[in-house]
Amino acid sequence: MSPEAASLPEGILAHHFASLERQNEAMRLGMWLFLATEILLFAGLFTGYSVYRFEFPLAFAECSRHLSLTAGTVNTIVLITSSFTVALSIHFARTDQRRAAVVCLALTILLALGFLGIKAIEYTAHFREHALPGKYYAFEEVKIPGAAMFYTLYFMMTGLHGLHVVAGMSVLTWLLWRTNQGRYSSRYYTGLELGGLYWHLVDLVWIFLYPLLYLI
């Protein structure tokens, strides 16, 4: 190891771990377990979706046609790209290119904002049409049983996903700050990596939401 590399910041070893390596492994395992819980959290809504789609296929198809496919597609592209930039930022951090890592993270956050913006525009449109969930449903164009249920699911799923986007953004902002301080390097980048994992999960969920909601 070059002396230069040795001066790069390392993680702090807690007293109860035998080695940094082990500690990183523990953190990564912990994160994956956390992601598993997130997956099961969404699974509840996906179950609801499957059941009601099974019961009301017509209503679901009809309602889905009233969502903006363009907005959905653009958002998919935005989110995929943001996932890509996060992956890049980790790559740059671990190859000691701090500037590039920071830029990539900033880009990710911008893309996330873009995603939320587009979602907000969609939501506004739904509000205007009264295509709202549950008892607020008063959408003139679709009046078949099950339509309200579609919008309930639509709002719950995108809403919960949106919350995750916001949470992910906050994490990324914090990571951006720390990366800028030079906390992550080829010798230690676990924190950044875990944040990235979370963001990828947000992307994963959307990859399924997109066809299920917009493309029936």
Q: Which is nearer to other proteins, 109 or 198 (CB)?
A: 198
- Please report how close the Cβ of residue 118 comes to other proteins at its closest, in angstroms: 15
- Please report how close the Cβ of residue 175 comes to other proteins at its closest, in angstroms: 16
* Residues between 10 and 49 that touch other proteins (CB under 8 A): 13-19, 21-23, 25-26, 28-30, 32-48
Among 105-113, 118-126, 171-179, 203-211, which window interacts with other proteins (CB under 8 A)?
A: 203-211
Task: Report DSSP letters for the chain, one per residue.
Answer: --HHHHTS--PPPPTT-S-HHHHHHHHHHHHHHHHHHHHHHHHHHHHHHHHHHHH-HHHHHHHHHTS-HHHHHHHHHHHHHHHHHHHHHHHHHHTT-HHHHHHHHHHHHHHHHHHHHHHHHHHHHHHHHT--SGGG---SS--STTHHHHHHHHHHHHHHHHHHHHHHHHHHHHHHHHHHTT---SS--HHHHHHHHHHHHHHHHHHHHIIIII--
* Residues between 123 and 182 that touch other proteins (CB under 8 A): 132-137, 143-146, 148-149, 152-153, 155-156, 160
- Distance, in Å, from the CA atom of 114 to the CA atom of 101, rounded to the nearest integer, reads 20
- Please report how close the Cβ of residue 45 comes to other proteins at its closest, in angstroms: 6
7, 77, 99, 177: which one binds other proteins (CB under 8 A)? 77
- Please report how close the Cβ of residue 40 comes to other proteins at its closest, in angstroms: 4
8, 68, 71, 80: which one binds other proteins (CB under 8 A)? 80
7, 9, 10, 58: which one binds other proteins (CB under 8 A)? 58
- Please report how close the Cβ of residue 192 comes to other proteins at its closest, in angstroms: 12
- Distance, in Å, from the CA atom of 94 to the CA atom of 75, rounded to the nearest integer, reads 29
66, 68, 71, 94: which one binds other proteins (CB under 8 A)? 94
